[in-house]
Amino acid sequence: MRFRLAGYPRKHNEGRVEVFYNEEWGTICDDDFTLANAHVLCRHLGFVAATAWAHSAKYGKGVGRIWLDNVNCGGSEKSIGDCKHRGWGNSDCSHEEDAGVVCKDERLPGFKDSNVIEVRMLLAQVFQLAQSQPPCARDPWTPSLMPPEPEPEWRGRPAGSTARVAEQPRAPLAAARSPLSAPRSPCRLVAERQQVNYRLHSVSCAGTEVHLSLCAFELVRGNTSAPCAAGMPAVVSCVPGALFATSSAHKKKPRQQQQGQSRIRLKGGAKVGEGRVEVLKGSEWGTVCDDRWDLQSASVVCRELGFGSAKEALTGARMGQGTGPIHLSEVQCEGTEMSLWSCPLKNITEEDCKHSEDAAVRCNIPYMGYEDLIRLAGGRTVSEGRVEVKRGDKWGTVCSDGWTTKEAMVACRQLGLGYSLHAVTETWYWDASNVTEMVLSGVKCEGHEMSLSHCQHHGASLSCKNMGTRFAAGVICSETASDLLLHAPLVQETAYIEDRPLHMLYCAAEENCLSSSARHANWPYGHRRLLRFSSQIHNNGRADFRPKAGRHSWVWHECH
């Protein structure tokens, strides 16, 4: 039994309840509806509980059948079908009585919602019925899945078959926004395969799909003879986008220059290709409201930024709350658009949406193999340890001279572990590896690089004050981080000048809060002219703020 939340206006955790029964979507009547009914429905939808329910078609009138009426649940049932009711399709209601629910915005452990593309689940049937082999290209296999554009920049996995793409969902075939070009000699690639068996045939995509598994296709049965007699294995070639270029010119350009005057960006994400969606309107950056936010719209964002299609459309400020205006709401892309601004959308006012509803995305990104060239050793968890890199065929440590948060950020990004909490310069307590040779020194990063090899370094000419493993570089990475923001308007609104007697400023003087000339004042006589204001520092990130100085180094002044 399948359920969904629908209607308008609503958030991702509320809406009109619709049930799929007998191959048809329908609604539930609000007669005798209770909070216990809502609890059962919310749990079925993947939420921990319900906070309220709605009557009289609050989220709009549905269409089709009214499948259930006079539903009476105890609250512990696993499905609404286990509750008492009048029988399927037996109702004396109209759609003006459609019931809705408001679920607590907290997911059940392990639940995946409909805005997440679960590739392995979608292809389970394929894997069960066929071996891991390439699809057939005899039928209408199109080299271009999306309309061509003047300067293609894709974004995808290096050359390989679609079977390989389907097995590794980070860069799906249907993610390409620019044409997919056929290799010059596909026959050579096919000839390299000693055995050719087929998994799919008659693959037909519209180009808007977020994954190949969502296209129309037919499965090749195991007992089929000559399943691809009129064709050959399909082969595509993908070119990584500018963000993943490894040329020397790329190393010197900050990310902002790479993207040019882009009107869209991702902020607050721990990893490449994820973050809160922000758009530029006029000269001001703002966020996107999560009303009607789905995989289609998220995929347009991902492709516009040079990634693959979206693997997750996030709602409820899952990547942190933004600041400033909320520019867009109710974005409803079809998937063919080249920009989010080309999609049907609604310009909104602040009253329509709050930053607690900021939309975000997680995109499929090209597999570049960067994570295969770095590893952590000796840490208490998988997110910390001494950094070891692969240079040629040799693994070795990194010199910690000049090892700062910027270098640690790049290391954590290359590892796929998010942000850097600490850049560690002494790692003797993590010496749990057989690797003792240092292979990289002089690492100096700007912070935006995809790999430590893209940063400046000494190359083969090592130069390190302390060559031993005791002083090898290390990191502690985290999926979340704090994001401190000064409330600037409050400073402007509260600032004033005050003449204050010196005898009231002893504490301020002892804590070095006065200018250096105060040392020469005639204490305790006279006064100082002060600029005073109130301030607030907000943490808009997804982790607690912890000062860089440990608690052992804090000084508690008697003035406090």
pLDDT < 50 positions in the chain: 118-134, 137-184, 194, 247-260
Amino acid at 555: V
Matching residue, tokens 């690089």 = 449
How far is 121 from 211, CA to CA, in rounded Å?
12
Tokens coding 76? 């512990």
Give φ, ψ of 298 to 5 degrees: -65, -35
155: nearest Cα among 141, 176, 125 = 176
**What does the pLDDT look like over 4-54, one tens digit per residue?**
888 866 677 888 999 999 888 899 999 999 999 999 999 988 889 999 999
Residue 107: exposure state from Cβ atoms within 10 A (0-12, 13-18, ≥19): middle
Q: How far apart are CA 185 and CA 286, in angstroms?
A: 47
Secondary structure of 93-148 as H, E, C letters: CCHHHECEEEECCCECCCCCCCCECCHHHHCHHHHHHCCCCCCECCCCCCCCCCCC
Would you list the domain boundaries of the chain?
2-103, 264-363, 370-478, 484-559
Task: Check whether the bond before 9 is cis (ω within 30° of 0).
Answer: yes
CA dihedral 509, 513, 519, 521 (to 10 degrees): -80
Cα 132 from chain centroid (whole Å): 29
Distances (CA, A) of 1 to 4, 20, 44: 10, 6, 9
Q: Cα separation of 529 and 140, whole Å?
A: 80
Question: What pTM value is reported for the model?
Answer: 0.62
Residue 258: burial class (beta carbons within 10 Å; 0-12, 13-18, 19+): middle
pLDDT for the residue 9: 65
Q: Which amino acid is at 141?
A: W
Give the pair of three-digit tokens for residue 179.
């044409």
* Fold annotation for 2-103: Mac-2 Binding Protein (3.10.250)
- Phi, psi (5° rounding) for residue 219? -85, 145
pLDDT attached to residue 145: 37
From CA 475, how far away is CA 452, in angstroms rounded? 13
Predicted local distance difference test score (pLDDT) of residue 115: 58
Intrachain domains 2-103 and 370-478 with the same fold: yes
In three-state form (DSSP H/G/I as H, E/B as E, the rest C), the secondary structure along 469-532 is HHHECEEEEECCCCCEEECHHHHHHHCEEEEEEHHHCHHHHHCCCCCHHHHHCCCCCCEEEEEE
- With a CB cutoff of 8 Å and minimum separation 6, the contacts of 407 are 423, 443, 444, 445, 452, 455, 473
Q: Which residues pair with 538 in a beta bridge?
A: 485
Going through 272-359 in order, the beta strands assigned E by DSSP cover: 274-281, 284-288, 310-314, 326-329, 346-347
Q: 300 burial class (0-12, 13-18, 19+ CB within 10 angstroms)? A: buried
Q: Report the alpha-carbon distance of residue 107 to residue 13 in Å, rounded.
A: 10
DSSP assignments along 347-410, one per residue: E--TTT--GGGB-EEEE-----SGGGGEEEEE-SSTTEEEEEEEETTEEEEEB-TT--HHHHHH
Residue in 508, 491, 498 with CA at minimum distance from that of residue 530 = 498
Degrees (nearest 5) of the Cα angle 23, 29, 34?
120
Q: Report residue 479: phi and psi, to 5°.
A: -70, -25
Q: Which tokens hold the place of 185?
A: 């000699």
pLDDT number for residue 185 = 53
Superfamily of domain 370-478: SRCR-like domain (3.10.250.10)
pLDDT of residue 256: 43
Alpha helix stretches (DSSP H) within 161-293: 162-167, 186-191, 248-252, 255-258
Q: What count of Cα atoms within 13 Å lies in the side-chain half-sphere of residue 527? A: 7
Reading the block at residue 26, the tokens are 């329908």
Place of tokens 């850097």: 420
Kindly state the DSSP code that residue 298 receives in the 8-state scheme. Answer: H
- The answer to whether the beta carbons of residues 95 and 57 sit under 8 Å apart is yes
Of 363, 350, 351, the C-alpha closest to 286 is 350
**Residue of 213, 241, 214, 234 whose CA lies nearest to 156:** 241
Q: Is 454 in contact with 413 (CB distance < 8 Å)?
A: no
CATH topology (fold) of 264-363: Mac-2 Binding Protein (3.10.250)
Render 417-431 in DSSP notation, one character per residue.
--EEEEEES--GGG-
486-526 pLDDT tens trace: 888 899 999 999 999 999 999 888 888 888 899 899 899 98
